[in-house]
Copies of this chain bind each other. A is one copy, B any other.
Amino acid sequence: MLAPISWRVPPRHYGPWELFASLLTEGLVSRGVDVTLFATGDSVTAARLSSVVPRSWSEDDDIDPKVAECLHIASVFERAGEFDLIHNGFDFLPLTYSGLVDTPVLTTIHGFSSPRIVPVYARYDDRTSYVSISDADRHPDLTYLATIHHGIDTDAFSLHADPGDHLLFYGRIHPDKGAAQAIALARRVGRPLILAGIVQDQAYFDQEVAPHLDDDRVRYLGPIGPDERDHLLGGAFALLHLIEFDEPFGLSVVEAMASGTPVIATRRGSMPELLDHGVTGFLVDGAEEAVAAVERVEGLDRSAIRAQAVRRFGKDRMVDEYLGAYERVVRAR
């Protein structure tokens, strides 16, 4: 299991790719699969851990990201002969080593940060098996083995007896994620808003978020660790996920659902695959529909929302599907 080294596995707060690697690795180990996790040295796992960097480059300025990443990736491929399969959860750079070893490589594509990275995936389309994380995120030039939606640890989330009347924004503070849209909507419907997540675009935060913070109606909590997540998500009236991009997957959407919290999301990217419109929340096009959706939230059954999340997005389902994919790849050799 080749994890990224932007953050520890599992991440302390933000780090969706590292969270995925952790949940899948621990799930596989619990099924008796012999897994070696390639991740930062301070990672925590029941698998065998192999590390060439002590800490994530996001958390240690002495580490050059490019240096650490190529040493990290090479350390997997130099041991390729020991493994039946390499699961690449890192992004595109490992693909360029895959032609030099015989071990099958399965790659989870976590999204295309830019159209300029597609040529690498296209170049290695014959060499590696691609798994998309939503049907919406499939690129027409690539061949896919399967779409496997992420699973989460639904036991870490719970139905809250007495949720508040506030709306919640939970995600990276970046134009893609729609923090400004959430602030505008909360103001319009007259509800308080809590924002949480890392600041990924400081200029956007300074211009679009900071001026609205008043410690009362609009509050920003900063990044939130795993221990606070259940309380944060479960305590909200609804999660606002008014994204401005075709998001490949939305972990926070599924996590909110696991807490029984309805989600109001822009009808873009993977959202129609994750949300059952009128059951777990509402898909909206634009501000008018979002306002109407807030009014309909109270008609939803929060226990039914959680039940749906457990059924569709539990980690065991994800582990099952990856095990099936691994078997297909290994047998096809």
A249 at the interface (CB under 8 A from B): no
A33 at the interface (CB under 8 A from B): no
CA gap between A96 and B73 in the complex, in Å: 8
Q: Does B117 lie within 8 Å of A100, measured CB to CB?
A: no
A120 at the interface (CB under 8 A from B): yes
A67 at the interface (CB under 8 A from B): yes
A330 at the interface (CB under 8 A from B): no
Q: Does A74 lie within 8 Å of B97, measured CB to CB?
A: yes
A221 at the interface (CB under 8 A from B): no
The one of B71, B97, B120 that contacts A120, using a Cβ cutoff of 8 Å: B71
CB distance from A137 to the nearest CB of B (A): 19
Complex interface: chain B residues within 8 A of A114 (CB): 64
The one of B67, B101, B119, B123 that contacts A119, using a Cβ cutoff of 8 Å: B67
CA gap between A70 and B117 in the complex, in Å: 11
Complex interface: chain B residues within 8 A of A74 (CB): 96-97, 99-100
Q: Does A62 lie within 8 Å of B116, measured CB to CB?
A: yes
CB distance from A266 to the nearest CB of B (A): 28
CA gap between A97 and B100 in the complex, in Å: 8
On chain A, the number of residues with a Cβ less than 8 Å from chain B's Cβ atoms is 24
Give how many copies assemble into the complex.
2
CA gap between A46 and B155 in the complex, in Å: 66
Q: Does A117 lie within 8 Å of B67, measured CB to CB?
A: yes
Which B-chain residue is minimally distant from A66 (CB atoms)? B93
CA gap between A99 and B77 in the complex, in Å: 9
CB distance from A209 to the nearest CB of B (A): 29
Q: Does A93 lie within 8 Å of B70, measured CB to CB?
A: yes
Q: Contact string, A48-81, partner B, CB cutoff 8 A, digits 1/0?
A: 0000000000000011101100110110011000
A92 at the interface (CB under 8 A from B): yes
Interface residues of A in 109-168 (CB under 8 A from B): 114, 116-117, 119-120, 123
Q: Does B63 lie within 8 Å of A116, measured CB to CB?
A: yes
Q: Which A residues form the contact surface with B (CB < 8 A)?
A: 62-64, 66-67, 70-71, 73-74, 77-78, 92-93, 96-97, 99-101, 114, 116-117, 119-120, 123
Query: Could you jot down 7 A-B contacts, CB within 8 Å?
Result: A64-B116, A64-B117, A70-B93, A71-B96, A74-B100, A78-B99, A96-B97
Q: A62-B116, A71-B119 are in contact. List 4 more A-B contacts (CB 8 A).
A: A67-B117, A74-B100, A97-B97, A100-B100
| Closest 5 pairs (CB-CB, A-B) | A64-B116, A100-B100, A74-B96, A70-B96, A78-B99
